[in-house]
Chain A
Amino acid sequence: MNALETLRADAARLLGEGRAKVVIGYRTRGKKRAPVFITDAAGAGSLVYDAACRQNLAAYLRKPEVRTLLPAALVASPPVMRSLVLLAAESQIGEEDVVVLAVGPASEGSGEWRYHGALTLAETARLLKEKYALLAPRPELLDQIQSLAAVSVEERAAFWHEAFAQCTRCYACRAACPACYCTVCLVEKNVPQWISTAARPHGNYAWNLIRAFHAAGRCTGCEACEAACPQGIPLMLLNVLVAEEAAEAFGIKAGYDLDAEPLIGSWSADDEEDFIR
């Protein structure tokens, strides 16, 4: 059996054995991929997986309607696996809630993929550490961050002003992100109103910054937010900037450790403070 056939067979078996009430995976929708929720073993044949599957399905685990269907088996690429480990570390899901149908690249840049099997969260964390410990952001992103960091602060302000000006505040970025699971988002709290909800420059600036900040040490690099943004705002530049800082300054990479302490919310006596006088 090839990878896809094994994946489908596992999905059918989990549903048949009652180990999962729903399989959340990808199906074909024209030239695109869409999520599919399979509750009947006979439906497992509709599962597909390839590089076009950019949505992070772990985002569904916060949805009340989906939570009634737990335990769920979830098709997960390495960044999605990291999201699942992060959600477990943050007590959003339990070991018994999820079976991970782990998929990953067969080899560097080949476009081919392989199936690692149906894993528990603990096995997923182990797989991540063994096989995907060196997951790095796309080099283009790092290049872009570097070149933006090299220009004047006014030029950066102008770049982001233009980028954020397109934001309509549809919150697709938030919806697509598994780490954004607050039932009431900060931007929806209006007594007092901290962040303007109007699609105007100051509110857009505050929203996009705070969204990235709240994902600090939690973003797993899946790029679902950027893929979700209808306006093409380069959100990953912010996410990667923060993730790199989290890794370099505090040694924290999100979603590898089921017992990880959160970056914001924990501290060390010898954290960097050369910027403090």
Chain B
Amino acid sequence: MSPQADRTTGEKAAAGQPVGTAFEPRIVALVCTWCTYAGADLAGTSRLRYASNVRIVKVPCTGRIDPLFVLKAFEGGADGVLVSGCHPGDCHYTSGNYHARRRWAIFRRLLEFTGIDMRRLFFSWVSAAEGQKFADLVNDVVEKVRAAGPFERTNPARRRP
């Protein structure tokens, strides 16, 4: 396979669809297992409709979400990243989300300053009871990233072979 041909397949895969059709954003959602994942589950069992552009990565706690995870998602070609966990006070490990909150506050400044558009990175608290909030959130995230357009070209973190 020539590098040229390879780049083409890379683009195809990145956009998740054949070249030539409308842009469908690829979103990575990093969520904690206790709240937001349960919320997503509730959205599913409640048959709420939300955009299918989200790939959910479940971790035990938002405290486990190293900023590297966000970088890795952008490196791998995500058009947007959503990070979500338990509301303050609700963490199943008492303070994981408080720790995470600080990390994000700092790290998002670094990302923004070095060229990652904050229209592509979202943080939220979604509890296990908030299935509707999760569905609305995902739909909103997808629409915002869709409006921002494909990240392929300007993404500073992107792995290019």
Whether the pair A206, B102 counts as a contact (CB closer than 8 A) is: no
Whether the pair B124, A277 counts as a contact (CB closer than 8 A) is: yes
CA distance A246 to B75 in the complex (A): 26
Residue A245 interfacial (CB < 8 Å): yes
Instruction: Digitize A121-140: 1 where CB-to-B-CB distance is under 8 Å, 0 elsewhere.
Output: 00000000000000000000
Instruction: Digitize A244-277: 1 where CB-to-B-CB distance is under 8 Å, 0 elsewhere.
Output: 0110011000000000000111111101110111
CA distance A277 to B99 in the complex (A): 17
Whether the pair B123, A241 counts as a contact (CB closer than 8 A) is: no
Whether the pair A212, B110 counts as a contact (CB closer than 8 A) is: yes
Whether the pair B107, A267 counts as a contact (CB closer than 8 A) is: no
Chain B contacts for A241, CB-based, 8 A: 109-110, 113
- Mostly helix, strand, loop or mixed at chain A's interface? helix
Residue B7 interfacial (CB < 8 Å): no
Whether the pair B113, A276 counts as a contact (CB closer than 8 A) is: no
CB distance from B70 to the nearest CB of A (A): 10
Whether the pair A242, B160 counts as a contact (CB closer than 8 A) is: no
Residue A216 interfacial (CB < 8 Å): yes
Residue A13 interfacial (CB < 8 Å): no
- Size range of the interface on B? 35 or more
Choose one: A154, A161, A273; the contact of B88 (CB below 8 Å): A273
Residue B58 interfacial (CB < 8 Å): no
Stretch at the interface among A58-66, A90-98, A110-118, A194-202: A194-202
Whether the pair A213, B107 counts as a contact (CB closer than 8 A) is: yes
Chain B contacts for A265, CB-based, 8 A: 99
Interface size, chain A (Cβ < 8 Å): 47
CA distance A186 to B72 in the complex (A): 14
In the complex, the chain B residue whose C-beta lies closest to that of A149 is B113
Residue A157 interfacial (CB < 8 Å): yes
CA distance A268 to B109 in the complex (A): 19
CB under 8 Å from chain A, chain B span 107-124: 107-118, 122-124
CB distance from A214 to the nearest CB of B (A): 10
Whether the pair B68, A195 counts as a contact (CB closer than 8 A) is: yes
Whether the pair A264, B114 counts as a contact (CB closer than 8 A) is: no
Whether the pair B110, A202 counts as a contact (CB closer than 8 A) is: no
Whether the pair B99, A154 counts as a contact (CB closer than 8 A) is: no
Residue B59 interfacial (CB < 8 Å): no
Whether the pair A153, B158 counts as a contact (CB closer than 8 A) is: no
Residue A67 interfacial (CB < 8 Å): no
CA distance A217 to B103 in the complex (A): 11
Chain B contacts for A157, CB-based, 8 A: 114-116, 154-156
7 A/B residue pairs, CB under 8 Å, sorted by A:
A148-B113, A156-B113, A186-B68, A206-B157, A213-B106, A213-B110, A269-B98
